[in-house]
Chain A
Amino acid sequence: MVRFSDGEGSQQDQKFRMNRRKFLKAGAASALTAGMVGAMKALPAEAAEAAANATGVQNGAKSKLHPTADYGGAGVKFVEHNDQWLGTTKIVGNIKNIHEGDTGFSQANRGKYGPDAQKGYYHYHFVMKHPFNGAIASFALSLAPDFMVSGIPSPQKLRIPDPEQMSQHIKDCAYFLRADEVGIGKMPPYAYYSHKAPSQDDLIKDDLSNSVPVTERLPYVIVVMIDQHLETMLASTGYDGISAAQSMRSYHTTGVISVILANYIRNLGYNARAHHFTNYAAVMAPCIMAAGLGELSRTGDCVAHPRLGFRHKVAAVTTDLPLVPDKPIDFGLLDFCRVCGKCADNCPSGAITHDKDMVEYNGYLRWNSNFQKCTEFRVTNKDGSSCGRCMKVCPWDSKEQSWFHTAGTWIGSKGEASSRLLKQIDDMFGYGDEQIEKYKWWLEWPERYGLPTN
């Protein structure tokens, strides 16, 4: 009879068996690792702050509420803002201030894109046709009057801290008011509109004679950014009933924050004007870039943030309050967009170019996307309300934050070859163009999605 406790067999067997001492040693080692992780979380506040100071990335003045910038893992470089560059956007000529009446939606309202687009846009029908989207937009419109966005500063200038501390404080005010990201930039003078467009009723007659010149030139711009809601975007086609609500969610919240911030700054005795969805005096894209919150993407006018992609909307406050501006950022988006083109592949109106290279437009370089096609589609979309399909599919914002997406984002920010690899991985795993039904919480009213009859 063979007894396994005897002889060589027994020794071999014993070797393979983990004895209690070894097991405890292994446990102790793991516990040590786990304990260190736990201890790091339980560090005293000063030590934790010191650790955060030592490791975190920071742009401009440090906020107390968000002491380190969250770039979602992307490798970010801080770059210059001068006569030749606005961040990574090359300035090749004289950038003219544009008339608000020449922007896409105003052109639609003026009838330049045909009668359907005009009907679809008039009094924001393309948003208002969905009852929920209309409810948010109606609130946002209550922020539109000039007395909401601007006013005379208090005659008495209050004592304020130095510009660095003031910038920190302004960022904290915005975070306290629930901004997802805040940046402060040197206000590019060309970001201002040359003129505010006249009323919608004048625009529909294509009458720009009541346009109001924009004369304000303030040195700084504070930009607040709000996420358009990941789960909703994951469930949406990008151009169904909820699409406009995603924009409105971020427009109305950034609008509220900007109006309050501008009010506060005027109470301190300095000039400040809020710019938000229902009352802009400036184009937001250059403000976002100047404030270090993103780079201009293939779409031609959407600025992508390293963590939020372009799943966001912003509002801004221009001011002469003494501040320390942040620097524009470079996280490799231009290289990524050059090889990606996922937005162009998925755009239902074919508005986004597949070109490899950028073209000159009004004195700067950008991809040659067709805003007319995009505007036409958004205001006449019969499958829903507006569109944000390009945002939905973009690898920079099409998924939740997790350790591997953070690693992926880091890879994607390291040049064309790694961008190509990341785009292929993104496609292989089916991110972006999927629809995750379990998050579909809203109601659809397809009978309301057509154009108005009168």
Chain B
Amino acid sequence: MGTILVFLAGILFLAGILFIKPRAKQDLKWKTVVNWVLYVLWYAITGIGISFIYINSSVGHVKATSTAIFLFLGLSLVIAIILARLLGFLGKTRKEINPSIKA
């Protein structure tokens, strides 16, 4: 079970990299670095959160589970929104990312 989860986590991490790679590269280097740092941070917080919530809820730590949902998933959501905005998934018109629509 543990090995399958490590495998899945690895697959998802790499899939995420391949998914955002074309959008992560920016004209300014620091912007590219910010994108990747945010991605790694988001992945780590989400992964830690899911694991923490799973273990605590299976043992029965009610307050730890609810606090962790609030804390980790909240943070994960905030970072995901920022990242999506920086990568252009949110808040940009289709026109900007796909000028061929005009054709």
Please measure, in the bound complex, the distance between the C-alpha atom of A431 and the C-alpha atom of B59, giving whole angstroms: 12
Binary contact track A103-125/B, C-beta < 8 Å → 1, others 0:
00000000000000000000000
Q: Which residue of B lies closest to A9 (CB)?
A: B100
Contact, CB under 8 Å: A12 / B62: no
Binary contact track B1-45/A, C-beta < 8 Å → 1, others 0:
011101111110111011100110000000000000000000000
Please measure, in the bound complex, the distance between the C-alpha atom of A10 and the C-alpha atom of B48, giving whole angstroms: 37
Binds B, one of A31-39, A43-51, A218-226, A297-305: A31-39
B64 within 8 A of A: yes
Contact, CB under 8 Å: A434 / B100: no
Contact, CB under 8 Å: B18 / A18: yes
Q: Which residues of A contact B64 (CB under 8 A)?
A: 429-431
- Given contact pairs A9-B98, A16-B22, A403-B51, A33 touches B7 in the complex (Cβ within 8 A): yes
Please measure, in the bound complex, the distance between the C-alpha atom of A6 and the C-alpha atom of B101, giving whole angstroms: 10
Q: Which residues of B contact A18 (CB under 8 A)?
A: 15, 18-19
B60 within 8 A of A: yes
- A112 CB to closest chain B CB (Å) equals 41
A443 within 8 A of B: no
Q: Which residue of A lies closest to B13 (CB)?
A: A30
Secondary structure at chain B's binding surface: helix, strand, loop or mixed?
helix
Please measure, in the bound complex, the distance between the C-alpha atom of A438 and the C-alpha atom of B57, giving whole angstroms: 12
Q: Which residues of A contact B59 (CB under 8 A)?
A: 234, 399-400, 436
Binary contact track A20-40/B, C-beta < 8 Å → 1, others 0:
001101110111011001100
Contact, CB under 8 Å: A429 / B67: yes
- A30 CB to closest chain B CB (Å) equals 3
Contact, CB under 8 Å: B63 / A434: yes
Please measure, in the bound complex, the distance between the C-alpha atom of A23 and the C-alpha atom of B14, giving whole angstroms: 9
B8, B14, B22, B67: the one contacting A29 at CB < 8 Å is: B14
Q: Which residues of A contact B97 (CB under 8 A)?
A: 12
Please measure, in the bound complex, the distance between the C-alpha atom of A63 and the C-alpha atom of B4, giving whole angstroms: 32
Contact, CB under 8 Å: A404 / B52: yes
B11, B55, B63, B98: the one contacting A12 at CB < 8 Å is: B98
Please measure, in the bound complex, the distance between the C-alpha atom of A319 and the C-alpha atom of B52, giving whole angstroms: 46
Q: Which residues of B contact A54 (CB under 8 A)?
A: none
- Given contact pairs A18-B15, A436-B61, A31 touches B7 in the complex (Cβ within 8 A): yes
Please measure, in the bound complex, the distance between the C-alpha atom of A276 and the C-alpha atom of B68, giving whole angstroms: 43
Please measure, in the bound complex, the distance between the C-alpha atom of A15 and the C-alpha atom of B64, giving whole angstroms: 41
Please measure, in the bound complex, the distance between the C-alpha atom of A439 and the C-alpha atom of B59, giving whole angstroms: 10
Please measure, in the bound complex, the distance between the C-alpha atom of A238 and the C-alpha atom of B55, giving whole angstroms: 23
Contact, CB under 8 Å: A30 / B10: yes
Binary contact track A413-454/B, C-beta < 8 Å → 1, others 0:
000000000000000111100101111000000000000000
- Given contact pairs A434-B61, A436-B59, A8 touches B48 in the complex (Cβ within 8 A): no
Please measure, in the bound complex, the distance between the C-alpha atom of A402 and the C-alpha atom of B64, giving whole angstroms: 14
Contact, CB under 8 Å: A9 / B63: no
Please measure, in the bound complex, the distance between the C-alpha atom of A431 and the C-alpha atom of B7, giving whole angstroms: 31
Q: Which residues of B contact A6 (CB under 8 A)?
A: 100, 103
A8, A22, A402, A403: the one contacting B98 at CB < 8 Å is: A8
Closest 5 A/B residue pairs (Cβ): A430-B63, A30-B10, A9-B100, A26-B14, A429-B64
Additional A-B contact list (16), CB under 8 Å, known A7-B100, A30-B9, A34-B4: A8-B99, A9-B98, A18-B15, A23-B15, A26-B14, A29-B10, A30-B10, A33-B7, A34-B10, A37-B2, A428-B67, A429-B56, A429-B61, A429-B68, A436-B59, A439-B60
